[in-house]
Chains A and B, each alone.
Chain A
């Protein structure tokens, strides 16, 4: 974790300032997974949505 994200998270926990959280969020990657085409909608059944 880089310095900016560390500081912004610390600021958020101290002050509760949502802008600090949003800054933290923009400086770190939340680990999402590739869309694996594996939800029910795509399972070979009709897509309804």
Chain B
């Protein structure tokens, strides 16, 4: 039994029982945790306004007998990223970004670097009017790099040879002609340069490059397939995001 304080962002919310809310909070200190915010539907509830998707805050939590779910005592909001709440495309992208983050990280596994690149991406969407498809592609690639799936860029992912010609989504990076498998993406200049840049740049500069619509499209197609294949998962939130884009 303990009271703890943690800084983090709500990456998922769902209704829980009568008038309560179950939150998944990606915290600096404890990784992704679950916590119940009680009574959020009461008119006077202070926690209600803060128990929202993408609220970045200091949380006072109570850890009781149930080790897996904490209780929210209070929430001190730092940034609610409110501009996102009015943009269904950006919002649905954030749901997907949260999903892939959870699938890489799992519960109770702190990773400040991943938290920071997620916050940077959300910040760019909320306040910088950054190209939404670019944020998606770059976050997908950087998340994979930081999360233990760094693609091999300058040598064959399979045999280590210095001759590479295409990106193998399953083998996890560039491959030589002998090692290429079924899931190959051919490189053009800009695509290869962009992958080279994103995989090696400082985290905070991951969005600091110019890219044409065409490049973003080919990059995004590669990165989303790379994640889906490596994690062996299909993300419903990705389909939802794409449906929103077409509206």
Interface residue ranges, A against B (CB under 8 Å): 9, 13, 15-19, 21-22, 24-25, 30-36, 38-41, 43, 45, 48-49
Within the complex, the shortest CB–CB distance from B129 to chain A, in Å, comes to 11
Q: B210, A32: Cβ atoms under 8 Å? A: yes
Q: Does B97 contact A (CB under 8 A)?
A: no
Residues of A within 8 A of B122 (CB): 40
In the complex, what distance in Å separates the CA atom of A19 from the CA atom of B192? 14
C-alpha gap A22/B177 in the complex (Å)? 19
Q: Is the CB of B208 within 8 A of A48?
A: no
Q: Which of B120, B154, B165, B210 lies in contact with A41, CB distance below 8 A? A: B120
Q: Of the candidates A13, A24, A40, which one forms a contact with B119 in the assembled complex, judged by CB atoms under 8 Å apart?
A: A40
The answer on a CB contact under 8 Å between B204 and A39 is: yes
Query: A41-B204, A49-B112 given as contacts; is B210 within 8 A of A31 (CB)?
Result: yes
Show 7 residue pairs from A and B whose CB-CB distance is below 8 angstroms, ordered by the A residue. Answer: A9-B189, A18-B162, A21-B154, A32-B205, A32-B209, A35-B204, A49-B113
Q: Does B123 belong to the interface (CB within 8 Å)?
A: yes
Contacts across chains A and B counted by CB atoms under 8 Å = 69
Flag B24-42 by CB within 8 Å of A: 1 or 0 each.
0000100000000000000
Q: Is the CB of A15 within 8 A of B163?
A: yes
Q: Which among B78, B128, B164, B205 is the interface contact of A18 at CB below 8 angstroms?
A: B164
Whether A33 contacts B210 by the Cβ 8 Å rule is yes
Complex formed: what's the CA distance from A33 to B211 in Å? 10
Contact A48 B112, beta carbon cutoff 8 Å = yes
Which of chain B's residues 4-44 have a Cβ closer than 8 Å to chain A? 28
Q: 1/0 per residue B154-169: CB within 8 Å of A?
A: 1100000011110000
Residues on A with C-beta less than 8 A from B189 are: 9, 24
Interchain CB contact under 8 A, B163 and A17: yes
Residues of B within 8 A of A36 (CB): 208
B141 is an interface residue with CB less than 8 A from chain A: no
Of the candidates A16, A19, A35, the one having the most CB atoms from chain B within 10 angstroms of its own CB is A16
Residue of A nearest to B197 (CB): A30
**What is the CA–CA distance of A41 and B120 in the complex, to the nearest angstrom?**
7
Residues B123 and A48 in contact, CB atoms below 8 Å apart:
no
Which residues of A are found within 8 Å of B239, using beta-carbon distances? none
Instruction: Give Cα A35–Cα B120 distance, bound, in whole angstroms.
Output: 13
Q: Are B205's CB and A35's CB within 8 A?
A: yes
Distance, CA A19 to CA B128, complexed state (A): 37
Query: In whole angstroms, what is the CA distance A15 to B88 when docked?
Result: 46
Contact pattern, B 88-126, Cβ under 8 Å of A = 1, otherwise 0: 000000000000000000000000110010011011100
Whether a CB of chain A sits under 8 angstroms from the CB of B234 is no
On whether the beta carbons of B209 and A30 are closer than 8 Å, the reply is yes
